[in-house]
Structure 1
Amino acid sequence: MTTWTIHEVAAACAVTTGEISQWISRGHFRPSVAVRSGEQRRFDWRDLACLAVMGTLRKQALTMKAVSLLTDRLRDDLTGMASVSELSGRFLFTDCAENQSDQAVGLVTEAEIFAALKQNARTVIIVDVAAAYRDAETTLPITALKGGIEHCSRNVSPL
């Protein structure tokens, strides 16, 4: 499985390494793999998807607590997925109903979004998780399979 460093995912998600570290220490983000003191943390595709969505939601007028609740639910949904390809056609969705106990949060299809919109929710948040992931992924270094090159940019121009 491909993993990335905190520096790579921070740059890809337009956040700082300090922000990611704070989110982890404050419980706003839980990485896929726990590490022991002194070990370098690595981030997988689920982490990248969650951090990309956090970066997207941060640009809105949402509190960090709200962002954390949404991405925590996203993390739960991603845990059951084997690969990022399963995100296709699914969106992180929440409808903030008047009664908070009726609030729906999770990965849904377009059809489920339309059904929820017919219920006249007061506030709706929809994030295309696959698009957020792809946007972040395109800036990450890739490991070459042949040739002994450790990392190269996806946006390499010819000489």
Structure 2
Amino acid sequence: MMRYLLDTNIISNFTKPAPSESLIAWMAEQSDEDLFIASLTVAEIRRGVLEKPAGKRRNQLDEWFSGPQGPQSLFAGRILSFDDKAGLVWAELMAEGKVKGRPRSGLDTIIAAIAAANDCIVVTDNERDFAGIEIINPIRGGN
């Protein structure tokens, strides 16, 4: 059984007028209980909604976020937190990046650390910021 932590850009893809067909196909092949999101993803999505200018699109996103198809409802019981175990992994990843001369994004590294601490593979369309982390990118067709 594989466990997957969906990056924020994967969840956001589903709010687009035309979500990625390859992502939809990949998701359809997965079992819900193997799919997780990070508490940081909930925060990033909410921030994105709140930063939209007032209007129809923001209202739609706000309704989605708070409704039964929003991340907190869909992933109830499968939202992973940044705890002490993930914090120690984060410290290692950040230090490793600095030592190698390739500083890492703090937020993306939190997602990577939560995934590692919970034995998950990161599912993302952001391959560059997750270099050296076990990922799959179903949007580009990578499994």
**TM-score, normalising length from structure 1?**
0.23
Q: Which has the higher contact order (CA 8 A, sep 6+)?
A: 2
Greater helix share, 1 or 2? 2
Give the greater-gyration-radius structure (CA). Answer: 1
